Amino acid sequence: MARKGRKRKNDNTKLLYLAFIIVVIIAAGYTQKDTIMSSVSNADVKDNQHNSDLLKVGSFNIQVFGQSKSAKADVMNVLSDIIRTYDIIAVQEIRDSSGTALDNLIKQVNSDGSSYAYLVSERLGRTSSKEQYAYVYNTRTVSPVGTAFTYPQTSDIFHRTPYIASFKSNEGIFNATFAVIHTDPDDAANEIKALYEVAEYAKGVLPADEPVIVMGDYNADGRYFDETSYVPLKSENYIWIIGNEVDTTVASGDNTYDRIVSTKPNIFYTGDAGAFRFDEVYNLTHEFAAEVSDHYPVYVFFKKDA
């Protein structure tokens, strides 16, 4: 009988130990999730409070941004934090026939007292999978000038016609026109060549001293485009602010799909530009970062005054 009692006691001890291990594993999972969300809400304070004499401008392919992605609270928190670090950010790959995803994102951005607004294009594309561009901007630092419009192309070379808008700083003399593009991967080389015409068109309708910046997901690398090849946009009158050395992909590769190109001279350009590696800044796992996007946003700092 004594032996049976000891065995029953040992069995109970093993069950209690197993239950304890399960509780620890579950708790660890919640702790990791809480840590991620905490880091998202508190990270990158320095970048949110960049020099008040500068404007942070950039581009972000959010990768199939629609109702499904906008329903993920943790992803929306990260996207909101990213946007708040910018004064102007050109968004690509908005795929939402309901037109609610972007509006929900901006409401989330402004939920902390920020004051962001947006300009959005019509739905563009040759297939049933239409996309929109948007310029999201901080109303406390910049204002749109005139009316945004799609490039009036005559040759139908762009699958998603570039979307053009002008902005000025609320303080200082910064004034520039932007064209955002998401090239079709299978026709990237031809579309990148044609971006020169877009920039020259914008230059022709603007005062001569105002820079034109063409930015977005060019698909300008890898199997889509030979980044060493010459295109008209690489003439001496332009500067590729995001060069071939910058990795703009969240994936394991090092491709520079996303670009910022400016006319020269650009008296506002500081020389400070790159990819905003939000996974490192916010201490995210690779798996979670990939839920946010497969692209890093790119950025450049411009002076408000020359």
- List per-residue pLDDT tens for the chain, 306 residues long: 444 344 444 455 444 454 544 444 444 443 443 433 333 333 333 455 578 999 999 999 999 999 999 999 999 999 999 999 999 999 999 999 999 999 999 999 999 999 999 999 999 999 989 999 999 999 999 999 999 999 999 889 999 999 999 999 999 999 999 999 999 999 999 999 999 999 999 998 888 789 999 999 999 999 999 999 999 999 999 999 999 999 999 988 899 999 999 999 999 999 999 999 999 999 999 999 999 999 999 999 999 998
pLDDT score for 98: 94
**Which among 93, 159, 182, 191 is annotated as catalytic?**
182
Name the residue among 212, 216, 105, 117 with its Cα closest to residue 161. 216
CA separation for the pair 212, 176 (Å, rounded): 6
Q: Confirm whether 182 is a catalytic residue.
A: yes
Backbone angles phi, psi at 81, to 5 degrees: -65, -40
pLDDT score for 29: 45
Token match 């920020």: residue?
A: 114
CA separation for the pair 87, 138 (Å, rounded): 5
Could you give the 3-state DSSP secondary structure of residue 69?
helix
CB-based burial label for 92 (10 Å; 0-12, 13-18, 19+): buried
Q: Confirm whether 286 is a catalytic residue.
A: no
Token match 């299978």: residue?
A: 186
**Which among 131, 159, 191, 295 is annotated as catalytic?**
131
Q: Which amino acid is at 134?
A: A
pLDDT score for 49: 54
- Six-digit token string for 6: 């000891």
Confirm if 163 and 121 have CB atoms less than 8 A apart.
yes
Backbone angles phi, psi at 243, to 5 degrees: -90, -175
